[in-house]
Amino acid sequence: MDKILVHGGPRLSGTVRISGSKNSALPILAATLLTKEECIIHRVPDLSDIHYMLQILAFMGCEVERASGTVIVRAEKLSTLAPYDIVRKMRASVCVMGPLLGREREATVSLPGGCVIGDRPIDLHLRGFEKLGAMVRVESGYVKLFANRLRGSVVPMRGKFGSTVLGTDNILMAAVLAEGVTIIEGAAAEPEVVDLANFLIAMGARIEGAGTDRIVVEGVSSLHGAEHRVIPDRIEAGTFLVAGAMAGDRVTVRRVEPSHLAAITKALSVAGFQISTESDAITVGRNGSLHPFNLTTAPYPGFPTDMQAQFCALATLCPGQSHIKDTIFPQRFMHVAELKRMGAEIDLPEVGRAVITGNGRLSAAPVMASDLRASAALVLAGLKAEGVTEINRVYHIDRGYEHLDDKLIGIGAQIERLKTGRP
Ligand code: EPU
């Protein structure tokens, strides 16, 4: 199990090239199951979550080739089973359900199991499949889906904490091959959903309204192969902007879509950082004194839950009291205990809310990564802490950040990766 050692202190400056979006690439790879023809996907990041998705596709019988960011999938013959051994490694594997149901009218997919960021039900996905006419059974840890015919319907996707992203993806991928018109009400409007819809449209699907809360799909009888470039990863970009804000002079993220990061750059401006934007780049720099801030996570275009942990780390440097609330995953505060071990002053007065008193005093400590974004927050804190922070369980980072340590080293960070050889 690798460890990362982050030496606190060096000032960061320079440019980071942002990779393709993990959360776009995963459902897009699943969508290649919808056709027998070849699909070519560019700008697929090199991450363990992507590797797990490719394993699932290969297990199901797809031919998969991969070379430097491009993945080619041919799903000519298909098994409709996604077993526990593979699915348990990555929750996003639930998004093979929609395409399997759409193309084969059946699927047997393991339930993914627990998740450290909180309860992550898939009730909205399953109810959505039922609305399209599928029979849904949960048996021995597996979801079994079956339909003689799939018929367009009105499918609500809004739950008590907002719309579901992968749920919207799943229904979209089943509805493109259903008979008639499906209206997804309360659809997630995240850029990753739009990216999936654009790929499906390139495959011959008829979809309108992606990026709004009402998506209309007119089913077609079959889809063909397509070529697609995945959008930039707005969360990776946001994480590097916070690194620049915390430990940088001027850090630029390039190959990004700035409009996707509007909530993140606004939050950085409120905290006192200077942001300048070009067509495909954003630069963060210091702009005088820092201020505390209040943030509440919300579905896109609101402030993303996937940036909540990183902003907790940032708040430790902003004098005064910052308030951060996560309404999407209220349990997602595992990083707090670790940040406190590094000298941060953080209270959790109630589930889902953190109050951070910025004291600017972080000191290195051995800490434990608990999930992907929490791990990123610990790396960020380590950049600013006095001494050498040892981060354990860094496989969480490798799930979702392409070469995070190398990219940080490229802008001046001092980071070492220790291979311990233990699983
Ligand atoms: N929810 C339900 N019922 C459902 C599905 C979701 O109540 O059937 C609730 C969830 O419990 C949560 C909220 O709805 O409170 C939103 O969850 P959502 O379904 O949107 O999450 P997801 O689609 O499973 C994706 C990202 C997450 C990101 C969330 C929220 C992927 C692969 N994952 O998950 O990304 O946090 O949307 O934006 O796209 C990450 O990259 O670190 C990550 C966790």
Strands 353-358 and 366-368: unpaired
Mind listing the pLDDT tens digit for each residue in 72-93?
999 999 999 999 998 888 889 9
Residue 203 C-alpha to ligand 1 middle, in angstroms?
26
Q: Pseudo-torsion of CA 373, 379, 385, 386, nearest 10°?
A: 150
Q: Return the bridge partners of 245, or none.
A: none
Q: Percent of the chain at pLDDT above 70?
A: 98
Which tokens go with 258? 């700035």
Confidence of residue 397 (pLDDT cuts 50, 70, 90): very high
The CATH code that applies to domain 2-19+232-419 is: 3.65.10.10
Which residue minimizes the CA distance to atom 28 of ligand 1?
306
Cα(192)–Cα(304) distance, rounded to whole angstroms?
13
Mind listing the pLDDT tens digit for each residue in 95-125?
999 999 999 999 999 998 666 767 788 999 9
Q: What is the largest CA-CA distance in the chain?
A: 64
- Mean pLDDT, range 388-410, rounded to an integer: 94
Indicate if the pLDDT at residue 375 is higher than 60: yes
Write down the pLDDT at residue 422: 55
Cα(346)–Cα(339) distance, rounded to whole angstroms?
8
Confidence of residue 393 (pLDDT cuts 50, 70, 90): confident
Residue 162 C-alpha to ligand 1 middle, in angstroms?
9
Mind listing the pLDDT tens digit for each residue in 202-251?
999 999 999 999 999 999 999 999 999 999 999 999 999 999 999 999 99
- Mean pLDDT, range 129-134, rounded to an integer: 98
Atom of ligand 1 nearest to the CA of 160: 7
Which tokens go with 198? 């654009």
Which tokens go with 205? 């699907």
Cα(126)–Cα(274) distance, rounded to whole angstroms?
45
Nearest to 339 by CA among 303, 364, 304, 307: 364
Cα(195)–Cα(215) distance, rounded to whole angstroms?
13
* CA 68 vs CA 45, 63, 102, 226: distances in Å: 9, 17, 30, 19
Mind listing the pLDDT tens digit for each residue in 190-204?
999 999 999 999 999
Question: Can you say whether the dihedral through the CA atoms of 34, 39, 42, 47 is positive or negative?
Answer: positive
Residues 6+ apart with CB under 8 A from 267: 293, 295, 303, 311
Confidence of residue 417 (pLDDT cuts 50, 70, 90): very high
Residue 109 C-alpha to ligand 1 middle, in angstroms?
18
Write down the pLDDT at residue 114: 60
Q: Which sequence spans correspond to the domains of the chain?
A: 2-19+232-419, 22-229
Q: Do domains 2-19+232-419 and 22-229 have the same CATH topology?
A: yes
Indicate if the pLDDT at residue 25 is higher than 80: yes
Which range, of 141-150, 239-248, 283-292, averages the lowest pLDDT? 283-292
Confirm or reject: Cβ of 334 under 6 Å from ligand 1.
no
Q: Percent of the chain at pLDDT above 90?
A: 89
Atom of ligand 1 nearest to the CA of 161: 15
Q: Given ligand 1 and candidates 47, 95, 165, 396, which is best to mutate, with the most ligand atoms within 8 Å of its CB?
A: 165
Write down the pLDDT at residue 423: 46
If you average pLDDT over every residue of the chain, what do you get?
A: 95
The CATH code that applies to domain 22-229 is: 3.65.10.10
Mind listing the pLDDT tens digit for each residue in 46-65?
999 999 999 999 999 999 99
